[in-house]
Amino acid sequence: MLARAAKLLLLGVIFWATCAHATELVLQKWVSVSRSLDGQVVVWETDPANDVTVELCSPGWKKVIASTKTDDKGRFSLKQVASSKLSYLRVSAPGMNIYQLRVRIDKHAGHELIIHLSVAT
């Protein structure tokens, strides 16, 4: 009986090791600058990532204020909190690393927000 339990445990560990992906938290060190909290999420540098969760959070990513999903072109749009000078975004999807970034809104910014996700390994 003990040998059977050990075999089942070993099979469970092997199954977990081959099927599980370790998701990492990626924290962008610099502050992004964008015209708005609209943008695109991509994987592999250019492939649009659809059905990705994009969350607007309180400072330090402690609470979710608003949330949306990307469309089939990887695009998303969130409304900025009026009093906020710095926005905290969290981006996540199954099988992908969780990405946290800070965004400063500048109406004169020359580019849209593009977020590059990486595959969890």
Q: What pLDDT does residue 85 have?
A: 82
Sign of the torsion angle spanned by Cα atoms 13, 120, 70, 89: positive
pLDDT tens by residue, the chain, 121 residues: 566 665 555 545 444 444 455 789 999 999 999 989 999 999 988 899 999 999 999 999 999 999 999 999 999 999 887 777 899 999 999 999 999 999 999 888 878 899 999 998 8
The DSSP H or E segment spanning 6 is: helix 2-19
Q: Of 34, 30, 31, 27, whose CA–CA distance to 61 is shortest?
A: 27
Q: What pLDDT does residue 94 have?
A: 93
Distances (CA, A) of 1 to 10, 12, 80, 101: 14, 17, 61, 52
Contacts for 2 with CB less than 8 Å, ≥ 6 apart = none
What would the two tokens of residue 71 be? 């469309």
User: What residue spans define the domains of the chain?
Assistant: 22-117
* CATH architecture group of domain 22-117: Sandwich (2.60)
- Read off the amino acid at residue 121: T
Name the residue with tokens 């250019």: 46
Q: What pLDDT does residue 3 have?
A: 63
Q: What pLDDT does residue 18 have?
A: 44
